[in-house]
Structure 1
Amino acid sequence: MIGAAKGGPLGWLLDGYVGWKFRSTFRGLWVRGALPTGAEGRLVYVNHTSWWDGFVLHQLSRAAGWDAYCLMEEKNLARYRFLSRLGAFSIRPGEAASSLESLRYARELLSRPRAAVCLFPEGELRPFGVLPLKLRRGVELLARVGRAECVPVALRYAFFEHERPDVLVEVGAPHAPGELELFQDNLEAVVRKVAAATSLEGFTRRVSGGSGVAERWDTVRGIRA
């Protein structure tokens, strides 16, 4: 197993790089729903539709004040080892010994103050909004082993009235560990809710990104939208 290795000069450099990369690509990160706070650890499970998802979770976690970690398939983390500096740790799907080791490691992480262990329970990229979701049982096992509150989060990348895309985040109500069907129902509920959004009404911008041509022109003219 490859463990997380957060911090150090490389980790700090990567933190800054991810923030710059986000701001240079998106107009902002907008959240609807309450991001849990407090010292206790939490399991955050998220739909997986884009290469950007990990970077978005990094920015969301910083905005929420979480000490975030993310479970990745080992072959991918071995290829992009630098992601361990951002909190990624590995699992080898289908190998019982590896799964047990990763579960124990995640349980230890969840015992840390403000920890948020994030995972994509679908285990693969899937088009946004395609339901029903197909979750793997690992999310249920991890929740039971970690005995942590579980938070469903849906991500959506949307163009509205601006040149740059916005990232919409729908946060569901935290719940206790349970059967896999509970996780599926809760994740599908937040996916449906964020999919129905036709504007940014009800969302709060938690991370600012870059402006577009129209916004810069309005600034030059002294008009703020």
Structure 2
Amino acid sequence: MARGRTGEGASPVALFSPARFAFYRFMFAGFARKHLRAVRVANWGLPPPDDSSRPLVVYANHPSWWDGVAFMLYSTELFPGRRMFIPMEAEALKRYGFMTRIGVFGVEQQSARGAVAFLRTAKAVLAEPGAMLWMNAPGRFMDVRERPVPMAPGLVRLAEYAPDVRFLPMAIEYPFWSERSAEMLCGFGTPIDGAALAALDREPRGEALARALEATMDRLAEDAVARDPARFRPVIRGREGMGGIYERWRHVSAVARGKPFDPRHDPSVGGNA
């Protein structure tokens, strides 16, 4: 097991605080409601039935700062019986110390020592019952249209250290549709068995992981381009309309005329379904 002392050098499992995680999940959900139109998951892209007896790695593209918020919101909504852990660049984590108490652990990038430390920590975390690891596969920010999608070396090697893991590709996008605020969209692909990946050499293994993620990203892009909320299941509903004084004036004006008020810029676009 990965449990250990709670001071410096403690494992992410030992540092994890369920109470703090619940608090920040509440705060992140409120932040999303305030700044996004909606958080959605594609109807085709719901995760498959979860076998909680097996460890899980969710690996995603990395389009935005919002990805950490996305991980927390989707993980608690769609994987309620599991506990999430996330690797993060060590220098960046120093600016967000509270995250070490909600499952985030530092990774020293661009070094052999950092790669070995990541694999050791990831293997220990995944040995915990019900644990899952969520990570941005490219290891850097990249546009959703960029191809090929690079796979971080640590992700590619992880199957060698934990062959009983299932690897689940996750695509994320944040398009603007017809409202002031962006949409948070995601879809999950078909899981890949870790043992099958471990049987491959590293180069074809990385290619297999990349192909699965790119296919998921391409399918999500089709729905993002369609701009149809009916293609998605809402996870969190945010704000619509312009907000501010002008929207309040429109509301009062509609009421004065005895008409229903719709804050949306384009009411024909399906609503915040």
**Common fold: TM-score over 0.5:** yes
Q: 2:51 aligns with which of 24, 38, 48?
A: 38
Query: Is 1:204 aligned to residue 236 of structure 2?
Result: no
Amino acid in structure 2 at the alignment position of 1:207: I
1:90 maps to 106
Q: What SS does structure 2 have at the residue aligned with 1:163?
A: coil
Q: 2:183 aligns with which of 127, 144, 166?
A: 166
Which structure has the larger Rg? 2
Q: What SS does structure 2 have at the residue aligned with 1:158?
A: coil
Q: Report if the CA contact (8 A) 1:15-1:86 is conserved.
A: no
1:128 maps to 144
Q: TM-score normalised to the size of structure 1?
A: 0.88
Q: What SS does structure 1 have at the residue aligned with 2:94?
A: helix
Using the TM superposition, give the Cα deviation of residue 213 of structure 1 relative to its aligned residue in structure 2, in angstroms: 4.6
Q: What SS does structure 1 have at the residue aligned with 2:158?
A: helix
Measured in 2, the distance between the counterparts of 1:70 and 1:146 equals 16
Q: What SS does structure 2 have at the residue aligned with 1:162?
A: coil
Q: TM-score normalised to the size of structure 2?
A: 0.74
CA RMSD, aligned part only? 2.6
CA offsets 1:169-217 (integer angstroms, 9 cap, x no match) = 0110111132111011011111111112212343211223234359995
CA offsets 1:49-80 (integer angstroms, 9 cap, x no match) = 10111111110001111311111111111222
Paired residues for 1:169-188 under 5 Å:
169-177=186-194, 178=197, 179-188=205-214
Q: Report if the CA contact (8 A) 1:158-1:166 is conserved.
A: yes
Q: Report if the CA contact (8 A) 1:63-1:207 is conserved.
A: no
Using the aligned pairs only, state the percent identity.
24
Measured in 1, the distance between the counterparts of 2:11 and 2:240 equals 37
Q: 2:260 aligns with which of 200, 215, 221?
A: 221
Q: Report if the CA contact (8 A) 1:3-1:84 is conserved.
A: no
CA gap 1:3/1:49 in 2 versus in 1, 3 angstroms:
farther
Matched length: 225
1:62 maps to 76
1:49 maps to 63
Using the TM superposition, give the Cα deviation of residue 10 of structure 1 relative to its aligned residue in structure 2, in angstroms: 4.2
Using the TM superposition, give the Cα deviation of residue 113 of structure 1 relative to its aligned residue in structure 2, in angstroms: 3.0
Amino acid in structure 1 at the alignment position of 2:176: F
Q: 2:123 aligns with which of 107, 130, 146?
A: 107
Q: Report if the CA contact (8 A) 1:31-1:170 is conserved.
A: yes
Structure 1 portions without partners, runs of 5+ = none
1:27 maps to 37
Using the TM superposition, give the Cα deviation of residue 136 of structure 1 relative to its aligned residue in structure 2, in angstroms: 2.2
Amino acid in structure 1 at the alignment position of 2:122: A
CA offsets 1:61-100 (integer angstroms, 9 cap, x no match) = 0111131111111111122211222211121123333322
Moved more, 67-76 or 159-168: 159-168
Structure with more contact order per residue of length (Cα contacts < 8 Å, sep ≥ 6): 1
Measured in 2, the distance between the counterparts of 1:212 and 1:113 equals 44
CA gap 1:2/1:88 in 2 versus in 1, 3 angstroms:
farther
Using the TM superposition, give the Cα deviation of residue 146 of structure 1 relative to its aligned residue in structure 2, in angstroms: 2.1
Query: Is 1:194 aligned to residue 234 of structure 2?
Result: no
2:95 maps to 79
Q: What SS does structure 2 have at the residue aligned with 1:28?
A: strand
Deviating runs (4+, > 6 A) in structure 1?
none
Q: What SS does structure 1 have at the residue aligned with 2:155?
A: helix
